[in-house]
Amino acid sequence: MAASSVARSSTTPFPLNFVSKPSQSDHFPKTALNFDPRFKRCRIALALAYLRSDDNDRSRNGGDGHNHLVGGALELDSSAFEDFPYDVVSKDLHTLPRPLSSTHLSNSVSDGSRLRVAYQGVRGAYSESAAEKAYPNCEAVPCEQFDTAFEAVERWLVDRAVLPIENSLGGSIHRNYDLLLRHRLHIVGEVKLAVRHCLLANHGVEVEDLKRVLSHPQALSQCEHTLTKLGLVREAVDDTAGAAKHVAFHKLKDTGAVASSAAADIYGLTILAQDIQDDCDNVTRFLMLAREPIIPGTDRPFKTSIVFSLEEGPGVLFKALAVFALRQINLTKIESRPLRKQPLRASDDNNGRYFDYLFYVDFEASMADQSAQNALRHLKEFATFLRVLGSYPMDRSMI
């Protein structure tokens, strides 16, 4: 086990605080989970600043009903959209918003009509379906990169983000694990989505006409048997829906795309084959992210996600995981990631060099449970760093 040089912190980052006690006993009269009401007042004040609009405001502004930021710092009217790019899609000439990039974040505003949820990709992406499953009737906002979705929530441009964290076939999405630590968002829920790949092409194109197929690398690998049988050359692109959009926009006759049936409908493509994935049990788990944590409860099954680092020493990781086993808390996932911007460390016996690691752990318990609080208090006694990423309801829905 590699030792970490991350400084010990007495509390987890704002606004969720985990208080450490210098004892391993499980009998504590006070809970270890504190929510500072000052942050709630701050959130309400900021929300009012963005959403406040009364009859006087509307009458002063010609009755247009737009919200105005208190103090006149930001006015939400049509002029704010003048530089926001739109793509023209071949199907019925509908206009679809181009995914937000870091340069466009400042141009995206909300009319306050419904919850805005960021996802990575373009219209028709599986992430869009996950966002709509997590928040029905939401306004799904496409973003070019995972980073952009995190930033959009932090800047109050959207209310939530729904981003993939692992796939049953492809494994973990490591980029989002790194971004969870870099940003100050909180996991407030999870949603699981069955991924059903389709082979798409323009109208009039038959399977025999295809020479190549475009899609995300994972989608291509998940359909390897089918694509090999068809003799198609595989070309990787950024995302599945983006592949469908490219085929439709350029009216390609010898190229297909592996994407969702929703993408076929949006971009006016024909579905040549459905469920072409090699394994029917293809499920992606998504995290629902917000600026503030939810208050955990005990009325339904909860899951808690944490990240920590440990000192170097024999059996230290075993001891860390034992704090959960001793309390009959089930671990559902453990992921290790090298600690970024840390040089390789030399071993004590000078026989090699090794990485420092961060450990991401999911366990089935609510932070409202005393046993979970005691487990983390116990872990805190020898962890060099500990942060609670979120305590949230488990997704028990049928896939």
Active site residues: 284, 286
Longest dimension (CA), the chain: 77
Amino acid at 398: M
- The C-alpha atoms of residue 248 and residue 243 are separated, in whole angstroms, by 9
Distance from CA of residue 239 to its chain's centroid? 15
59: which 2 tokens?
Answer: 């009458």
Q: Which residue has the tokens 């208090």?
A: 377
β-sheet bridge partners, residue 335: 360
Spatial contact of 55 and 399, defined as CB atoms under 8 Å apart: no
Helix (H, G, I), strand (E, B) or coil at 373: helix
Q: What is the spatial distance between Cα 125 and Cα 244, in angstroms, rounded to a whole number? A: 10
Nearest to 213 by CA among 195, 231, 188, 189: 231
> 217 is written with which tokens?
């690398």
Dig out the tokens for 154 from the structure: 């932090």
DSSP type of residue 98: P
CB 84 within 8 A of CB 107: yes
CA–CA distance, 227 with 278 (Å, rounded to integer): 10
Alpha carbons 367 and 334: distance in angstroms, whole number: 18
Residue 340: CA atoms inside 13 Å, Cβ hemisphere, count? 7
Q: State residue 243 phi and psi, 5-degree precision.
A: -65, -45
Instruction: Give 93's contacts (C-beta < 8 A, 6+ positions apart).
Output: none
CA distance 60 to 67: 12
Q: Which residues contact 329 (CB under 8 A, 6 or more apart)?
A: 363, 364, 365, 371, 372, 375
